[in-house]
Amino acid sequence: MHCAEKIMAAPKDPSLDRFRQVEAHLRQQMASRRLAPGAKLPSFVALQEEFGVSTTSINRALLNLERDGLIERVRGSGVYVAETKVRQLLGTYGFIGSGVDLREENPNPWMEPYWTQLVAGAQFEAQRCEREMLLCTSPMRSWHKVDGVLVHSEKVLGSLDQLPTGMPAVGVMEAVRDHPSVVADDFMGAREATDHLIQLGHRRIGYMGFVESAIIQQRLAGYSTALFAAGIKPDADWILTPHGYDFPSKYHHAHLNMKAWLELGFLEMGITALLVQEDRFVGGVATALAECGLRVPEDLSVVGFDGLMGPLANGQVITTVQIPLEKIGRQAMRLLDRWVQGDNPGAITITEPVRFIAGQTSGPAPLQPFSRRVAPV
């Protein structure tokens, strides 16, 4: 047995009973292998100082962990993470996705281009390692079927505590706390796209996309950084968050939302360029503009993000940021296999570079914003 290094304190959740805060934190540390089998837990005094709780609360937390067979007490020595028996490997890895669309009109959400490429990369690497891969839409029912999992987002689990203790898990596209992860350089991609528009003379540049995910937050940070670097103060009104989810496609989603914004005075903001969350939004935006007699890029430049779509219906090549989805899937599966084989890579985050591609949907800023040339819809 060996002593663990001092572990970082977890954020306190006031909604949990005090002893449950300690219990949840220790479970998470064991699940991520920061406290590996055989590691000594911090002393009662150390845990009291770290969480500001009583000895009674510490003891209640440890009793629950002991009941589940996760720790063992050694008289006169301390409390240790229980040594786990070597589990026979099943030869199967799981892939847990987030934002999976299970509506009837989309019975196989994994066939969307985004998922197809990401899963294809992971599948390729799994086969190279002579492993099977299971797509898990109901992860809680799949733990007994897999040796480890790729996790697209913590949200799909609700909490990392849902992972079985010791289950290897690697984040893919979104970084997962205290676990190895492989992500795209969304920050730099959005910054390069924004720089491209600034170099074309645009000063009022908007962004269309859902802002709640960590991925989009990185893109917004890159977008804002580029604007500030050019001496442009971002305006909160330039961030356009789509409404509603019940649309047959992302194209229709962008089309109807852009149409609504035009009716609400989008033209009056003087925006001459728009970054959008993904390439499928570009066609919807272009259609809404065309219905108002506006053109891409003459009246509004539009830049996509992901590099998954071909030309628009009129033949225009989309200006976009290409994400190496297959490479990210392969790299994440490689880390997972390494961990399952006994070599835990630790809480590293590998950031894969993206590629900006200048197409035909972006062009020079108009000499006069269309808000002054076209009457509001």
Calpha distance 83→228 (Å, rounded): 53
| Helix 18-31 / helix 44-51 crossing angle, nearest 10 deg | 110
Token digits for 205?
């540049």
Instruction: Tell me how far apart the alpha carbons of residues 278 and 307 are, in angstroms, rounded to a whole number.
Output: 8
Query: Three-state DSSP class for 363?
Result: coil
Tell whether pTM > 0.85: no
Length of the chain equals: 377
Fold match, 2-81 / 92-183+326-350: no
130 burial (CB, 10 Å; 0-12 / 13-18 / 19+) is exposed
Q: Is-cis flag, bond preceding 311, omega within 30?
A: no
User: Residue holding tokens 């819809």?
Assistant: 377
Asked if residue 304 lies in contact with residue 361, where contact means CB atoms within 8 angstroms, the answer is yes
CATH of span 2-81 = 1.10.10.10
Closest by CA to 62, choosing from 77, 48, 51, 73, is 73
Q: Which helix (H) or strand (E) covers residue 193, if one does?
A: helix 186-199
CATH superfamily membership of 186-323+358-372: Response regulator (3.40.50.2300)
* CA–CA separation, 356 and 161 (whole Å): 38
Question: pLDDT tens, 18-67?
Answer: 787 888 788 778 776 788 888 999 998 999 888 888 888 899 889 888 87
Nearest CA among 68, 26, 67, 70 for reference residue 44 = 26
Which is it for the CA torsion 311, 116, 169, 250, positive or negative? positive
2-30: burial string, b at 16+ Cβ within 10 Å, e else? eebeebeebeeeeeeebbbbbbbbbbbbb
Render pLDDT for 135-190 as a digit per residue (tens, 0 to 9): 876 665 677 789 999 998 877 666 566 777 678 899 999 998 888 999 999 999 99
3-state helix, strand, coil in the chain (%, to 5): 40, 15, 45
For residue 178, with 0-12 CB atoms within 10 Å meaning exposed, 13-18 middle and 19 or more buried, which class applies? buried
Structure token pair of residue 334: 């490689």
Fold (topology level) of 92-183+326-350: Rossmann fold (3.40.50)
Domain boundaries, the chain: 2-81, 92-183+326-350, 186-323+358-372
Per-residue DSSP letter, 139: G
pLDDT tens series, the chain, 377 aa: 334 433 344 444 443 467 878 887 887 787 767 888 889 999 989 998 888 888 888 998 898 888 767 888 888 889 998 876 445 678 999 998 754 443 334 445 556 788 889 999 999 999 999 999 988 766 656 777 899 999 988 776 665 667 776 788 999 999 988 889 999 999 999 999 999 999 999 999 999 988 888 899 999 999 999 999 999 999 999 999 887 655 668 888 899 999 999 988 888 899 999 999 999 999 999 999 999 999 999 999 999 999 999 999 999 999 999 999 999 999 999 999 998 887 888 889 999 999 999 999 999 999 876 654 444 33
Contact yes or no for 330/122 (Cβ under 8 A): yes
